[in-house]
Amino acid sequence: MLTITQDLYDRIVAHARKDHPDEACGAVAGPEGEDRPERFIPMLNAARSPTFYEFDSHDLLQLDKEMRARKEDPVIFYHSHTATEAYPSRTDISYANEPGAHYVLVSTADTDGFGEFQFRSFRILDGVVEEEEVRVVDAY
């Protein structure tokens, strides 16, 4: 189960809506060894595409260095789908290489009338996708 604060939930959704019609992407870091998302890190979709996202390799390297220096782990990697449901695509699954992370997908398809808004979280390990419950709390 992913437990996330209302503030972080709102920030992820706001980023997805702001970048629409392009896919948004980012991460949420937390203390090393703990499954607690705390620090919101919006990133630029280097692909600038409504159907594909890509972290800039330089930004991703900087994020890794910064998290190590702060003794953090990537707890959440998130991105949006702009015209489809919030479910990992084959490409999303191939990108999922952090076994301890939650992979959050936000569908902003409702913005253009293609579907309903969704905020879903998945664990992806060795190509196997398992949806998990999302619990939104006021504070930890």
Strand-pair partners of 18: none
Sign of the dihedral through C-alpha 27, 94, 132, 20: positive
Domains of the chain and CATH, by start: 2-137 (3.40.140.10)
Tens-level pLDDT at each residue, the chain (140 residues): 999 999 999 999 999 999 999 999 999 999 999 999 999 999 999 999 999 999 999 999 999 999 999 999 999 999 999 999 999 999 999 999 999 999 999 999 887 777 788 999 999 999 999 999 999 999 99
- Residues sharing a CB contact under 8 Å with residue 33, sequence separation 6 or more, in sequence order: 73
- Give pLDDT tens digits for 97-119: 999 999 999 999 887 777 788 99
User: In the block, which residue shows the tokens 């595409």?
Assistant: 49
User: In the block, which residue shows the tokens 């953090």?
Assistant: 72
pTM: 0.95
CA-to-CA dists, residue 45 to 14, 24, 42, 126, angstroms: 15, 6, 9, 24
DSSP H helices in 74-139:
90-95
